Each structure stands twice: as structure tokens, then as C-alpha cells.
Amino acid sequence: MSDHLPARLPSEGTLRDLGPLTWVFCKLAARRQRIPRVRLFTTLGLHSPLLWTWLPHSGYLLFVGKLSRKDAEVVILRVAHLRNNEYELQQHRRLARTRGLGPEIQAKIFEGPDADGLTDRQRALITATDEFVVTRGVSPETWATLASHLNRAQLIEFCFLAAQYDGLAATITTLNIPLDYPD
């Protein structure tokens, strides 16, 4: 979100706006991250049924999918970078560090697939993510390279992961969801 644009929907997360179950979930999520509120959840929580159907899909991709957590963060960071989505970048820079992707490798992910120091697997993930986000598909050559690193289930999951975070970036940007962290 641009710092000068106001949020398009309230993101304070009041009990009245969210209802009791969603309000408790949002409070617990914020406490876990040690912040006053997770504005993505407090905003999406204004449509609680949608939030509760989206969370399992999103949670699966983020926490228990067939891709390694490190591979998932490579894709997510690249999507967030391509979409210039500071909200996703802020959240996932932190999470990626806990998954073994420190600031140096993150800088290489942002630089692109030709950056020195990336593994062949990371190059394949970044190249495929670039194509997926920019062209809405993956070329046969890139797919073959990606398929040499991922099994069939992981290939399917790659598509869902890239699409999930591309759509999420568009939603965050369109709704002008404020950042959760002051940095």
C-alpha cells in the first residue's frame, strides 16, 4: 500500500465489525506476531465467511504443502517483489528468515534468476514465478526445468501458491491494507 493512500475499509478489527469468533482469531494471530493487529485478517474478517474458507487453503500452502517451506518462501517473496507489495514483503521477509532465507539470499531473490549465489532449484522457481505472474503461464522450457526439480504434486502446488499470492497482492493493494509493522 502507498503510505499516502487511506485504507478503503476499516482495519481496526472491532468485535462489532468482526463478530466474536473472527475477533478472537484476529486477536490471537496478532498476539502470536507481537503486533496490535494483523490488518489483513481484520480487513478480510469484515467478510467472515470468506476469511474462514480462505484460511485453510492459504494455511495449507504456507505451512504444510508439498513444497518445502523454503521453496514456498522463494515463490512468495518473488511474487511480492514483482507486485511491489510491501505488506506481503514485510510479512514474508520475517517468515523467510525463520525458514533459512536470510537477507543476503532474499536480496538475490529480488534481483532475479540471474543473481549469483542462487541454486539451480531457486533459479527455476524464480524464473517460473516471473513467467506465471507476468504472462499468466509458464513456457515449455521453463516448465521442463521446473519439473526437473519438483514432482507432480509440487508442480500443481507451485501454480496454486503463485496464484494465491498474486491474487492476495492484488487484494491488499486494491483495499489499501495498512502495514502491520512500523518498519
Q: What is the pLDDT of residues 47-104, one digit of tens each?
A: 999 999 999 999 999 999 999 999 999 999 999 999 999 999 999 999 999 999 999 9
| Res 7 pLDDT > 60 | yes
> Could you report the per-residue pLDDT of 10-38, keeping only the tens digit for each?
888 899 999 999 999 999 999 998 999 99
DSSP code, position 161: H
- Which helix (H) or strand (E) segment is 59 a member of? helix 48-59
Q: Give me the CATH code for the 66-174 domain, please.
A: 1.20.1290.10
Cell of 35: 503486533
Q: How far apart are CA 59 and CA 112, in angstroms?
A: 26
Q: How far apart are CA 179 and CA 103, in angstroms?
A: 20
- Which helix (H) or strand (E) segment is 74 a member of? helix 69-82
Q: How far apart are CA 24 and CA 43, in angstroms?
A: 14
Whole-number percent of the chain with pLDDT over 90: 89
Q: Which residue has the cell 532475479?
A: 112
- Which helix (H) or strand (E) segment is 32 a member of? helix 20-33
* Residue 136 binned pLDDT confidence (cut-offs 50, 70, 90): very high
| Res 4 pLDDT > 70 | no
Average pLDDT, the chain: 94
Whole-number percent of the chain with pLDDT over 70: 97
* Residue 2 binned pLDDT confidence (cut-offs 50, 70, 90): very low
